Amino acid sequence: MKTLARSMGVVACVAAVFSGALAGAGITGGLFFADGFDRPDSTDMGPDWTKQWSDWSTEAQHARSAPGPESALMTVNGFESSEPILEVTIRHDGTIRSTYVALVSLYLDNAHCVFVKVQDWDLDGLYDTAYFYEGNNSQVPWGDMEPGWDDWEDLSPYFAEARIGTYVTGDEVILGIDRDFDGVPDEGSLYARDGIPLAELGLGVGLGGYNAACADDFMAVPEPATLALLGLGLVGGLLSRRRRLAVLVAAGLLLGALVSVSSAEPAASSTFDSDDEGWVCVSTLGNWWPVIYSPTGGNPAGHIYGSDQDAGAFGFGAPAKFVGDKSETYGQAFTFDIQTDVQNPTGGWVGLEGNGGVQIVCDYDTPAGPNAWYSRGVLLSEADDWFYVDSGLSVTHDDMVAILGDLEGLAIAAEFKDGFDETSRLDNVFMIPEPVTLAVMGFGAAALALRRRP
């Protein structure tokens, strides 16, 4: 099935932004992986990579796959995600040959992974075609795709270099291309395939290449809303309106000139490394009770959890560091990781209370299933679907600014099924301030604005 994105939006949602020339490789803060390959030429890709097929090397501060007819593939060590967002810069040196660069998601082994490649098929020194396979350059389709080379996307206008990104959401993978590195996927350059056989695959990510392919500035984010990096806008157009925000929030990685991760510190955060940090369980009936802290089982390490204890809807109530004057966070991201034990969960929302008792809520994309971590988030702006609790009307710009300027309460809904004694878990809560130096890249930012479909 061929699905084309219908629209894209650009929303500046940034949080922990990277550098455009990522000097080293590694998983930053447990949140994302980045490698700019800016190190001496070597056939040793370093401790963060495992070569699964053929060879990769660093050359002139980029990654180069083995020359000749070799479908090289390497995976990132210690990085797993069921909904990864990946990005890489690709460059063709103009030498006439068949070559490709591939982004690899849900890696189990070389025969079981989501493999999306951008290739010079016409042998003209330009990338012109995209393919979607199950397995390393396997030509194996999934779902109702055509077999092998019969299922492809024409990438006109063809290009010698671009920033490309993929995003897995549910059983769908989306590819986006930004040829001019403006942080926004080009018009008509979003492509997708659904029906991924998830039960057959794993959680790893990696990079593929053929015949001396050149790749640079590889980045991977575990799930939407983990960071508010910039944005996988390219993905956004294909996502449901309900989920657009998470992409927005999440994306971050895409294109462009990224800044240092240290340039945007959270206005408030809770990673639950050693205790519950003052969070409590709260109920729509006005009750509250303690959360339970666990040093293990989080995403990763410590987290908090709580169970429904009354007839109201329950959630997690934020401590003092998340309230007060948070005006600097207007227009930015509020993100968190959440887990529930409920089958087919519904009804996630974030609630804010301002001075005078004004209460507003915004839906977030509920967890996709039980007993797994999902990164979610909302945009702290009227641009997202915030509405007043008392009237159901959309929140105005002035009220959003006023509420954030004197925030008295914040809660994350954690009840996803009426009449069920459920347990929900929370980790990695970040309230992102206005970035001082951020180069909003693209795919993510755009996506954020699109992630919800009416």
What Cα–Cα distance (Å) separates residue 152 from each residue in 2, 148, 195, 327? 9, 9, 16, 47
Region of residue 391 (left: phi > 0; alpha: psi -120 to 50; beta: else): alpha
From 150, 162, 325, 154, select the one nearest 234 (Cα to Cα): 162
- Are the C-beta atoms of 248 and 13 separated by less than 8 Å? yes
- State the Cα–Cα distance between residues 376 and 337, nearest whole angstrom: 6
Specify burial of residue 294 (Cβ count, 10 A radius: 0-12, 13-18, 19+).
middle
From 268, 402, 404, 378, select the one nearest 13 (Cα to Cα): 378
Is the pLDDT at 240 greater than 70? The verdict is no
Q: What is the pTM assigned to this prediction?
A: 0.54
- Are the C-beta atoms of 126 and 119 separated by less than 8 Å? no
* pLDDT tens, position by position, 281-332: 988 777 788 999 999 999 989 999 999 888 878 899 999 999 999 998 988 8
- State the Cα–Cα distance between residues 378 and 273, nearest whole angstrom: 23
- Are the C-beta atoms of 8 and 239 separated by less than 8 Å? no
Instruction: Tally Cβ neighbours within 10 Å of residue 291.
Output: 24
- State the Cα–Cα distance between residues 243 and 49, nearest whole angstrom: 31
> What mean pLDDT is predicted for residues 195-217?
96
- State the Cα–Cα distance between residues 408 and 354, nearest whole angstrom: 5
Instruction: Name all domains of the chain by residue range, CATH numbers in brackets.
Output: 3-263 (2.60.120.560), 268-434 (2.60.120.260)
Q: Which residue spans within 22-152 are E strands per DSSP?
A: 25-28, 32-35, 49-53, 56-59, 62-65, 71-76, 85-91, 99-109, 112-120, 127-134
* pLDDT tens, position by position, 172-201: 898 888 898 766 678 888 888 999 999 999
What mean pLDDT is reported for the chain? 78
Is the pLDDT at 90 greater than 50? The verdict is yes
Biggest alpha carbon–alpha carbon distance for the chain: 69
